[in-house]
Structure 1
Amino acid sequence: MKKVLSVMLALSVSAPAFSVEKVSFEQYVEEMKQEARELGISEAILTEAFTGVDYKPRAVTADRNQPEKRLTLDEYIPRAVPDWKVKQAKKLYEKHYAELTRIGNDYGVQPRFIVALWGVESNFGKFTGNYRVIDALSTLAYEGRREAFFRSEAMAALTILEQGHIAPSEMKGSWAGAMGQSQFMPSSFLNFAADGNGDGKKDIWDNEEDVFASTANYLSKSGWNDTYTWGRQVKVPHGISPDLQGREAEKGKYLQEWSKLGVTRYDGRPLPKLNKDIKAWLIMPDDENGRVYLVYNNYNVLMKWNRSYYFALAVSHLADRIAMK
């Protein structure tokens, strides 16, 4: 036994170290195609989707170099929701009022939030990305930093093509594979995209009714309640404990509990007294010296859409501006 162990030890010391070379992008694509076949994607779709597939270094660069400079909310909100965007949002709200009202009633979502998400995500459909989605997702899966996520999204994208909602050549999106006017990742499309005009397709690229219905469906299925708004900016007493802030379930308090802790509306008036009190969470996205908000569960739903406090506040701010006369 000792002799065997000594031989094994000698082999482990003397064996040359080697590394497995990474397969080429072309080989990796072939592996993805085989996985897709096993999921039931047809050869016709695979041929069309992957013909001319191209590695996109700019997508990798964008993924690795997310902006590090952090703006304060006082800097960010005017940039994300400038007056010209508010004006445009109001015009589009009026233009699409009939279909927005119908869809809002169907899904239980206030139309102003549908328009606000449309505006913040893609500037009302003007900026949706010009990457072929299959190219972007194949590139980012191959790059490997988040391989499992992007490979799964690639399979979801192929499923969308198999279902016939859009042609492969028309499936365009961001460098990360976010698609259409609502900027859904493919998995979100499969879970939430909706046919808003009854033509049997779910077209979030070119059909505004489908964009509205898909947005409303996402919010509705994620827990939206159109009885309430998203929250409000507030003032807190000096020295309030920072431990009170946060969106953990246990930190939610009813409005009247927050009132007893000295929290008021931003203009100093008391918080509203509702027939049925509502739970709210205190958030300080910058710090206690920056903007402070009490947010309701609808805000938590917006955070499911995008896990950025700033994004959710931009959408909320635009929705409020749309409602203002």
Structure 2
Amino acid sequence: MRNDRSAQRQMILQAATIVVLMISGGHAGASPLPAAGLQASLRPLARPEVAHTVATTQLRPRVRPANRHRVASAGPVPPKISPAEQRGFHAWIAAFRLRAQAEGLSRATLDQALADLEFDPDIVQRDGNQSEFVTPIWTYLERAVSDTRIENGQAALRDHEDVLNRVEARYGVDKEVVAAVWGMESNYGRFRGERDIVRSLATLAFDGRRGVFFESQLIAALQIIQAGDVDPRAMTGSWAGAMGHTQFMPTSYLAYAVDFTGDGKRDIWSDDPTDALASTAAYLKRYGWVKGQPWGIEVKLPPEFDYAQADRKITKSAQAWRQIGITRVDGGSLPDHGKAAVLLPAGAGGAAFMVYRNFAVIERYNAADAYVIGVGHLSDRLKGAGPFRTDWPRDTRPLTYKERRELQERLSGAGHETGVADGRIGPRTRAALRAYQIAAGLTPDGYASLSVLKRLRSSPGETPELGAPQRFN
């Protein structure tokens, strides 16, 4: 994997060097940024694709670096970059300037933001380090909705009561939901990230693994600087380019950030969180937030429940769900908050939820079920609600990446197509898994469990050898 990426970077280095040579000879033309580079959903933060990965927020004070190219860290010394790679990065920057100018960025902006910019090998290492193992959703929620985070959230609601009340009145999004996003993303501003965003995005765009996407984010970041919203040296955030109190990516900032203070700038970086909180509410409203509707509620399923009905695509009225015996988790009548679907984030052995339109709205911020439930549950706790009542299947564990790919390959080998065996348990894989569970006489909850994988392993028939991700036709 590392050799492949080194080879890819070497190709980029060579191509960029050729472009610079062309520029010096006066023959290079401007190349517009590919439209495909724009983030389709404009989510504020590009998240790991594993549904239950633990958020990297920490309850500790911020430490501002001494200058824009050094990050305070007690961690290991970052890997070194070779002189050839550094030359290649500088050549890439020179070629990028032409593409940036074609997008309307001025030479003055580029000179200001790109001067003395250096490649950051630590970011490339972080981007390549994807854990094989997955944190169980119950562990994630225990950390995300801890007593400390709840207490800090209640303090934040008191300290920023006036701002949050005005934001709620303007956008119709519950102040506790806005505060919960703030708490999940940066622990209420305590950990906003201190990396130089321009340097991070330039490094990731040059590295090439997701170059088109990160170049689009770099263009957007430079547009923000050109608009005068922030100085390049103050544009800090995570290593992946997410910024401010609620971790907006640059393209999301351009589309949804608001100047709620009225000072002429959309400032999501400073110690004053006003613009960031209002921008988060504006984002959620833009994607259809329903005022007064919960994200979801914990429910109790009847013993005879047909688990094939636990599908996000199957939505019914409260009356229809009541008729088949679903109640609140305390046994009370299911309230009517509009059409809803049944969600089983840990399968039939864990908690069950009735989820509404607002669940899908929070999903636009981050698509992982664990994150959405974390935001929703934290907002409920900030309103005074108690913890979930149903326990989780703690005697099990989530599948590793390799096991998820094996599950997909075995399902497809058994005639239940999953498409690409990429380790992502999406709608197609869940549908194939349900079909297999029904055929095998198992509970069709669509949950990718170790017990199902073991059952597939014991099934007769040929299974493709586990290798590179493959597409089944």
| TM-score above 0.5, yes or no | yes
Match of 2:312 in 1: 247
Where 2:252 maps in the other structure, the secondary structure is helix
1:151 Cα deviation from its structure 2 partner: 0.8
C-alpha change, 1:257 and 1:68, in structure 2 (3 Å) is farther
Deviations 1:270-309 (A, max 9, x none): 212x4xx501111112211112211111110000000111
Match of 2:193 in 1: 129
1:21 aligns with 2:19: no
CA RMSD of superposed structures (Å): 1.6
Is the helix fraction higher in 1 or 2? 1
Q: Number of residues paired by the alignment?
A: 301
Match of 2:157 in 1: 93
Quick check: 1:122–1:181 contact (8 Å CA) kept in 2? yes
1:258 aligns with 2:321: yes
Where 1:127 maps in the other structure, the secondary structure is coil
Match of 1:228 in 2: 293
Quick check: 2:193–2:237 contact (8 Å CA) kept in 1? yes
1:208 aligns with 2:273: yes
Match of 1:9 in 2: none
Alignment of 1:149-188 (within 5 A): 149-188=213-252
Match of 2:43 in 1: none
Match of 2:136 in 1: 72
1:247 Cα deviation from its structure 2 partner: 2.6
CA distance in 1, matches of 2:11, 2:209: 16
1:169 Cα deviation from its structure 2 partner: 0.8
Quick check: 2:189–2:245 contact (8 Å CA) kept in 1? yes
Where 1:169 maps in the other structure, the secondary structure is helix
1:120 aligns with 2:184: yes
Quick check: 2:316–2:340 contact (8 Å CA) kept in 1? yes
The one-letter amino acid of 1:262's match is: G
Give the structure-2-normalised TM-score.
0.61
1:57 Cα deviation from its structure 2 partner: 2.0
Q: Percent identity?
A: 37
1:239 Cα deviation from its structure 2 partner: 5.5
The one-letter amino acid of 1:267's match is: D
Deviations 1:96-133 (A, max 9, x none): 11111111111111111111110000001111112111
Q: 1:39 aligns with which of 96, 100, 103?
A: 103
Unaligned runs of 5+ in 2: 1-9, 14-87, 386-473
1:266 Cα deviation from its structure 2 partner: 1.3
CA distance in 2, matches of 1:269, 1:54: 61
Quick check: 1:118–1:182 contact (8 Å CA) kept in 2? yes
Where 2:348 maps in the other structure, the secondary structure is coil
Unaligned runs of 5+ in 1: 1-19
CA distance in 1, matches of 2:255, 2:348: 38
Alignment of 1:188-207 (within 5 A): 188-206=252-270, 207=272
Where 1:105 maps in the other structure, the secondary structure is helix
C-alpha change, 1:244 and 1:31, in structure 2 (3 Å) is farther
Match of 1:5 in 2: none
Quick check: 2:145–2:377 contact (8 Å CA) kept in 1? yes
Quick check: 1:255–1:280 contact (8 Å CA) kept in 2? yes
CA distance in 2, matches of 1:238, 1:70: 30
1:22 Cα deviation from its structure 2 partner: 2.8
Quick check: 2:259–2:275 contact (8 Å CA) kept in 1? yes
CA distance in 2, matches of 1:68, 1:299: 28
Deviates more, 1:217-226 or 1:251-260: 251-260
